[in-house]
Amino acid sequence: MKTIDALRAMKVYNTHELLLRFDATQMPVACQYVPASLGNPVGGTQVWSPRFATDPKAHWTHPGRKLFIGKRSVSMPKALAWATKEYGITEWAADPTDPNTKISKAVRDAALAAVRDHLKGAAPHRGEAL
């Protein structure tokens, strides 16, 4: 079974759910590249959290999210550097639910540990219990 399939079996379908379930710090943050589109007129990397606004004065097209405009190769490093400085996350990893998103390595590791337990038939880890 693939990691994404195991996460779905555990009812974790996206980054929002992943951060809420496996972040033990209560300061979960993601850096997500979103290309320009009809619903998103400005492409770039957004720093966001399911618990709080990373930019309370953000434009209405990306409410509460700090935005770094530009192609992924330019905007993602800027977003990661800013989020590292603001939230103290020093190690980043790919989000197993979204290839365009980086999350804390600690969150990713907790999720992967829960996947291993799930595949063994054990109860999944909760971020607060780690």
Residue whose C-alpha is closest to residue 62's, from 87, 37, 86: 37
Confidence category of residue 104, pLDDT binned at 50, 70, 90: very high
Instruction: Give the per-residue pLDDT at 120.
Output: 86
Full domain range(s) for residue 37: 3-129
Rounded to an integer, the average pLDDT of 53-64 is 90
CB distance 102 to 76 below 8 Å: yes
Residue type, 97: T
Say how many C-beta atoms besides its own lie within 10 A of residue 35's C-beta.
Answer: 11
Rounded to an integer, the average pLDDT of 107-124 is 85
| 10 φ, ψ (degrees, to nearest 5) | -90, 5
| 92 φ, ψ (degrees, to nearest 5) | -115, 155
Q: Count how many domains the chain has.
A: 1
Looking at the chain, how many residues does it have? 130
Confidence category of residue 91, pLDDT binned at 50, 70, 90: very high
Residue 16 and residue 2: Cα distance in Å, rounded?
Answer: 20
Rounded to an integer, the average pLDDT of 101-108 is 96
